[in-house]
A = this chain, B = another copy of it.
Amino acid sequence: MSVYTSVGEAELAAWLSRYSIGQLKSLKGIAAGITNTNYFVDTTHGRYVLTLFEVLRLDELPYYLELMSHLARHGVACPAPIADSTDGYASMLAGKPACLVTCLTGAEVSAPSAAQCFAVGEMLAAMHEAGNTFPRRMANPRGPAWWSATAAGLYAEMDALDAASLREEVAFQDRYRFAHLPTGVVHADLFRDNVLFDGDRVAGFIDFYYACNDVLAYDVAIALNDWARRDDGAIDDALARALLAGYQSLRRFSDDEKAAWPVLLRAAGLRFWTSRLLDLYRPQAGEMTYTKDPKVFQRVVEDHRARRDFWL
């Protein structure tokens, strides 16, 4: 259940008068999404998704919504925000910043095939290409400075061996700088629950609210650490190769990117290991978090440390 903010039909119908999408027929809460409230909104013109932002402020939304609009205009499969009579994408509804986006078909895939991993990699490369002309910039708020500071605040409470492993990884990453690698718009959270599939075709990337400007190959590493990860926690070689092959069918890694790739895979693991530890040790009051296991990404990082073949 993830409808934190209730919206009534009358209130919504009044708010919809700022849009050119027809008359409200019905709305229905969507039981997905951890941070935001989502509704299906059916009008005489079709189905849309209404999002009420529980954490992001109205002035923080333009980067994300204009990015989604930009990517959709470029043919990247993602929801397209609907502009209102002020030509804006977001305004207040029920006390929360809110927006409407197009409703994609397709469904999540929990156990992806190699063909689906290939398609995700290919669409991610398409997204990276299309992002080249996006004019806005946003630094990654969950980069090395963030994970170093966050980890430092948690070591004392952690199991000693886990803390040592985390310290080792933070120290390892501190030895690398990636300023020379190609950067651009990254999704930064392209996990299985953020991609809709229609068969083996990507019907859409969703949940762009971690998107930012960062190293492109790091985004591939984030995706690979989830898409190629089996239920037992190990990375599946065939799925990893498929995702990389899909990505590189459109955008080949440079020599610099290939050299940095093993470190980026560990960095991508560290970022989620750290955020899951934070969720575990510092749960946010009032935020519904079904805490995900940090051990999953501890294992990803430790497996990458021992790995010799990185599928390139």
Contact = CB atoms under 8 A, between A and B. Distances in A.
B87 A19 contact: no
A84 to B, nearest CB: 8
Interface in A22-55: 22-23, 44-46, 48
A45 B201 CA distance: 7
A219 interface: no
Interface string A130-153: 101100000000000000000000
A87 B48 CA distance: 26
A211 interface: no
Given A75-B45, A77-B45, A20 B83 contact: no
A72 B101 CA distance: 12
Contacts of A130: 20, 83
Contact of A22 (B45, B126, B132): B126
Given A20-B129, A83-B133, A201 B44 contact: yes
B122 A22 contact: yes
Contacts of A235: none
What's the interface size class on A, roughly?
Answer: 35 or more
Contact of A85 (B48, B76, B86, B132): B132
A123 interface: yes
Contacts of A127: 20
Interface in A242-258: 249-250
A152 B73 CA distance: 45
A80 interface: yes
B74 A123 contact: no
Contacts of A48: 75
A93 interface: no
A245 to B, nearest CB: 13
A133 B87 contact: yes
A75 to B, nearest CB: 4
Interface in A83-115: 83-87, 100
Interface string A164-175: 000000000000
A186 interface: no
Given A45-B123, A46-B201, A83 B73 contact: yes
A133 B45 contact: no
Contacts of A45: 75, 77, 123, 126, 201-202
A105 to B, nearest CB: 11
Contact of A74 (B20, B70, B74): B20
Contacts of A44: 119, 122, 201
A82 interface: yes
Contacts of A132: 85
B122 A75 contact: no
A70 B80 CA distance: 12
A21 interface: yes
A225 interface: no
Contacts of A122: 22, 44
Nearest to A118: B44
